[in-house]
Amino acid sequence: MVAEPGCAGTSTRQGPFADDCPSRVVLNHVANRWGTLIVTSLHEGPMRFHQIRDNIGGISEKMLSQSLRLLIRDGLIDRTVEPSTPPRVTYSLTPLGLELAALLRTLVDWITLRTDDIVAAQERYDRAQSA
Amino acid sequence: MVAEPGCAGTSTRQGPFADDCPSRVVLNHVANRWGTLIVTSLHEGPMRFHQIRDNIGGISEKMLSQSLRLLIRDGLIDRTVEPSTPPRVTYSLTPLGLELAALLRTLVDWITLRTDDIVAAQERYDRAQSA
DNA sequence: CGGTATCCCATGCGATACTG
DNA sequence: CAGTATCGCATGGGATACCG
């Protein structure tokens, strides 16, 4: 055994700070270009494939499909198929995913709220650099 | 004007869900492979370059330097140089960055706590697929 | 110590076309 | 509708070497 799940005793680093810990992988599934937005979208409620795509500007079907599969594998999202014609597929958060979505929602809301401040900081920085 | 900072009225989407909103860029600075870990590291207190590098397994100096510059530009991190020989450079969170770090810390802690559950889900998924 | 510059490979990701 | 397959480029990111 090299790195146990919790990664408590393998090095001085813990959790995602250790690069050989499974939690690092999980963090990368969530904290990437699309993961946060997908999970946060589903916090509104169950959605179908095209609904999610339309809710997230600029995401391609390929990346949505690929990201969904990773998150389903991680046990964060459920995929439900109603056997009709055509089949109706719905994505929803698992109890585990719901916990995570609440946290990510807070993050997204904070960024939305603070974007003005951040843009102002960027402009200050750029002006200082050009001087 | 195309997209105002808050991105409230430009489309049906808001905040980072709109791909032309500045908040999307900010989200990508924070929610990527290294951003979350860097900001969370500094939640412990001010740190020097090599301390941060040593605290985050697998990060290269190039990516640390590059990511730090983006986060400094966003007004989330401060860079302080003490004029000694050799100069001593310290990175710390700004008040804005501290707010963010608290949120990200919660995220990292949750992932650390739930890694066992997630790994179990992954193994269940993989077994179901191979069957 | 605290970085930057360059090189180059790996992969993320979009565009397009196709399937049940 | 709900995807998958293939292609190809743009970017991310590591290795190495170098600078104040």
User: Which chain B residues are within 8 Å of A107, Cβ to Cβ?
Assistant: 30-31, 103-104, 107
Mean pLDDT value across residues A24-35 = 95
Decide: pTM greater than 0.75: yes
Say what the pLDDT of residue B72 is.
97
**What would the mean pLDDT of A28-42 be, rounded to a whole number?**
96
Chain A residues with CB under 8 Å of B7 CB are 112, 115
Give the bases of strand D that a protein CB approaches within 7 Å. 1-6, 12-17, 20
User: For C1, which residue's CA is nearest its C1'?
Assistant: B86
Task: Please count the residues of chain B.
Answer: 131
Closest to B104 measured CA to CA, from A72, A131, A113, A111: A111
Look up the protein residue whose alpha carbon has the minimum distance to the C1' of C3. B65
B14 — pLDDT class (breaks 50, 70, 90): confident
Is the C-alpha dihedral spanning A108, A114, A118, A119 positive or negative? positive
Q: What's the pLDDT score for residue B12?
A: 66
Out of A30-39, A41-50, B37-46, B122-131, least confident range: B122-131
Mean pLDDT in chain A? 91
Would you state the pLDDT for residue A3? 47
Task: Name the pLDDT band for B11 (thresholds 50, 70, 90).
Answer: low
What is the number of other CB atoms lying within 10 angstroms of the CB of residue A127? 9
pLDDT tens-place string over residues A77-116: 999 999 887 889 999 999 999 999 999 999 999 999 999 9
Name the residue among B5, B17, B75 with its Cβ closest to that of A56: B17
Mean pLDDT of A14-32: 93
Of B14, B28, B74, the CB nearest to A118: B74
Give residues 100-119 of chain A lying near strand C (Cβ < 7 A). none
Distance from the Cα of residue B41 to its chain's centroid: 9
